[in-house]
Structure 1
Amino acid sequence: MVRIRVLVVDDHRIFAESLAAALAAEPDVEVSAAGSGPAALRCLERAVSEGRRFDVLLVDADLGGHVPGSRPAVPVQAGNEEGLVDGISLVAGVRSAQSGVRTVVLAEKDDPRRAALALQAGASGWVAKDCSLSRLLTVIRGVLRDETHLPPALLTGVLRELTAARKHRTESERLVESLTPREREVLRCMVAGLGRKAVAERLFLSPHTVRTHMQNVLGKLGVHSTLAAVALARRAGVGPADLGPAGRIRAEETNSA
């Protein structure tokens, strides 16, 4: 019998243990539980090292008590405990670290915006916490067949949210494309959380030159703050600068200021 390995991730211990016990009663399901995002990533790493990968993660949408969407969720790598503040961030981190693992978000209530965020982060399903065990098992087996599962009442709202997000992404991409190569490099440093002095050191530029580039970036993107520029960059798919093992960005001569 092929067993399905499931990891329940929820910081409410009683709920996690109850759900794990209910799922473990199924003859083809093997269940473990974790009480936080970092603990979940450690479980995933350990399972890989033992040659016993998990198949499905059931992740609490309210993991850590943070409301997703109030700031950009930052995908995290296995072994890094920074940025794991909510269930949807964990979904993104798992997609980055172990793309073969399917994730299903468990939520207290239906929320089209948050469900859309979960799908964008890489989730394969959104399920109410109070759904029946048979429904949850259907979803678990379905996502392993590459199906996407949403409550019927959420479909219209989620499609509307995804359409709006796609429109915003297209507009953001157009604005980012208006930047020069050097300005895009500065923007990536801003996304990485670097201040003006740190950007100057890593791009081998003067602080004054970096200040000018940052002002140009804000002007071309039509925003008035670094936080707004970073949010727009993330919508456009711009990731943080790769600082490399030496902690510096080697800018190409053709991009020199």
Structure 2
Amino acid sequence: MVRIRVLVVDDHRIFAESLAAALAAEPDVDVFAAGSGPAALRSLERAATEGRRFDVLLVDADLGAVAGGTVRALPAPRESAEGAPVDGIALVTAVRQAHPGVRPVVLAERDDARRAALALQAGASGWVAKDCSLSRLLTVVRGVLRDETHLPPALLTGVLRELTASRKHRTESERLVESLTPREREVLRCMVAGLGRKAVADRLFLSPHTVRTHMQNVLGKLGVHSTLAAVALARRAGVGPAESAGDVVERGGQLA
């Protein structure tokens, strides 16, 4: 019998324990639990090292919201451009980057087409109500292992609308980013990496005054009024953070 290894990630202890116990009663399911994003990532890494990789991640959409805390130990992403706490959807992003073979499924207390769309964009294979039946959840768990995507039927239209709108916004963001010069794009990537003006100047071998001018030009061309807004737009366009300092030094002469 092929066994399914499931990791439940939820900081509602009673819910997590109850769900884990229910899943463990299935003859083909091995289930483990983690109470936070960092704990989940440690479990995934340890399992991968020991050759016992997990198959499915069941993660609370509102992870970290119980105590109003922010999961700060995740490798990526950190906090959003708007400063919002890293939650279950951000954990999905981190897991898909570090452990692409794991199928994440988001457990939600309420239907939310926008967040469900964000979860799918992050790499989730499903969005399931927390109060769904065990048989429904098992159907989703087994289905995502066949590369199926599971959404509540009532959310489908809203999610498709959100994904279409997101693509439209991304296309516009990409167009704006393409209007930047190569140097301005490099400055933008430094901004995405969270670097301040002095750090950008040091990395790109520029004066702080020149960096300020580049940053002002970036904001103007992107049509935004703050660094946070520029970073949010850049992320929508798929712009990643700047390379390591060593890579930039190596190519320094080509960035002018």
For normalisation by structure 2, the TM-score amounts to: 0.92
Question: 2 CA distance for matches of 1:154 and 1:161?
Answer: 10
Question: 2 CA distance for matches of 1:81 and 1:224?
Answer: 23
Equivalent in the alignment of 2:133: 132
Question: 1 CA distance for matches of 2:95 and 2:138?
Answer: 21
Equivalent in the alignment of 1:52: 52
Equivalent in the alignment of 2:151: 150
Q: 1:128-180: per-residue Cα shift (whole Å, max 9, x none)?
A: 00000000000000000000000000000000000000000000000000111
Q: 1:217-244: per-residue Cα shift (whole Å, max 9, x none)?
A: 0111011110110000000000111224
Whether the 8 Å contact between 1:119 and 1:125 is mirrored in structure 2 is yes
Q: Secondary structure at the match of 1:26?
A: coil
Whether the 8 Å contact between 2:77 and 2:94 is mirrored in structure 1 is no
Whether the 8 Å contact between 2:60 and 2:107 is mirrored in structure 1 is yes
Equivalent in the alignment of 1:175: 176
Identity of aligned residues (%): 83
Q: Where do 1:1-257 residues align within 5 Å?
A: 1-65=1-65, 76-77=74-75, 83=79, 85-244=86-245, 249-256=249-256
Whether the 8 Å contact between 1:203 and 1:251 is mirrored in structure 2 is no
Measured at CA, do residues 81 and 147 of structure 1 come closer, stay the same or move farther in structure 2, by a change above 3 Å?
A: closer
- Post-superposition offset of 1:247: 9.0
Question: 1 CA distance for matches of 2:152 and 2:77?
Answer: 32
Question: 2 CA distance for matches of 1:81 and 1:229?
Answer: 17
Whether the 8 Å contact between 1:201 and 1:248 is mirrored in structure 2 is no
- The one-letter code sitting in structure 2 at the alignment partner of 1:209 is T
Whether the 8 Å contact between 2:9 and 2:37 is mirrored in structure 1 is yes
**Which stretches in structure 1 are left out of the alignment for 5+ residues?**
67-72
Question: 2 CA distance for matches of 1:232 and 1:82?
Answer: 16
Equivalent in the alignment of 1:70: none
Whether the 8 Å contact between 1:8 and 1:33 is mirrored in structure 2 is yes
Deviates more, 1:246-255 or 1:131-140: 246-255
Whether the 8 Å contact between 2:77 and 2:93 is mirrored in structure 1 is no
Whether the 8 Å contact between 1:108 and 1:128 is mirrored in structure 2 is yes
Question: 1 CA distance for matches of 2:254 and 2:55?
Answer: 46
Q: Secondary structure at the match of 1:63?
A: coil
Measured at CA, do residues 199 and 96 of structure 1 come closer, stay the same or move farther in structure 2, by a change above 3 Å?
A: same
Q: 1:179-205: per-residue Cα shift (whole Å, max 9, x none)?
A: 111100000000011110110001010
Q: Secondary structure at the match of 1:145?
A: coil
Whether the 8 Å contact between 1:8 and 1:59 is mirrored in structure 2 is yes
Whether the 8 Å contact between 1:37 and 1:90 is mirrored in structure 2 is yes
Whether the 8 Å contact between 1:142 and 1:148 is mirrored in structure 2 is yes
- Post-superposition offset of 1:248: 5.8
Q: Secondary structure at the match of 2:203?
A: helix
Q: 1:35-76: per-residue Cα shift (whole Å, max 9, x none)?
A: 00000000001101110000000000000018xxxxxx9995
- The one-letter code sitting in structure 2 at the alignment partner of 1:46 is R
Q: 1:4-56: per-residue Cα shift (whole Å, max 9, x none)?
A: 00000000111001000000000000000000000000000110111000000
Cα RMSD (Å):
2.0
Measured at CA, do residues 251 and 186 of structure 1 come closer, stay the same or move farther in structure 2, by a change above 3 Å?
A: farther
Q: Secondary structure at the match of 2:39?
A: helix
